[in-house]
Amino acid sequence: MGEHPDAAVVRRACTAFQQGDLDTLSTLLTADVMQHVPGDNMISGHHKGRDACMELYRTEFEETGGTLRVDLESVMPDGRGHVISGHHVRAERGNRTLDMKTGLFFTIVGGKITDIDQCVEDIDAINAFWGR
């Protein structure tokens, strides 16, 4: 059996993000996509719309000076439009470092990502890394 189509969309999106290919990534998101980022820091909150999400990703790359590395470890679809992905994230920002497991909960409709909920191993560490 091949990979479930929803899992394939998430895998393509994660690969595009890791490669900094935001053009490809943007084609996998609906115009009204929403990304929810936990914590109380400069990138946390609800990012509504493809443009807002793309700005979030550009900010993450710029603020980490190209050190952001998000290694995909697992992709698990439920067959009903949801996919959970597990990642190992590493980055540097100024004198701060980030090294932790994270997870994303995706909603897929019509072969595109409509919603992304991010979960992190340590919210305090994320807040300290990104600051205000």
Alpha-carbon distances of 18 from 72, 89, 96, 110, 111, rounded to whole Å:
9, 10, 20, 23, 20
Predicted local confidence at residue 129, as pLDDT: 98
The mean pLDDT of 76-99, rounded to a whole number, is: 97
Domains, the chain: 5-130 (3.10.450.50)
Rounded distance, CA 123 to CA 119, Å? 9
Q: State yes or no: pLDDT of 107 exceeds 80.
A: yes
Q: Quick one: pLDDT band at residue 132, thresholds 50, 70, 90? A: confident
- Residue 59's pLDDT is what? 97
Look at residue 69 in the predicted model and tell me its pLDDT. 96
The model carries a pTM of 0.95
Instruction: Note the pLDDT of residue 2.
Output: 87
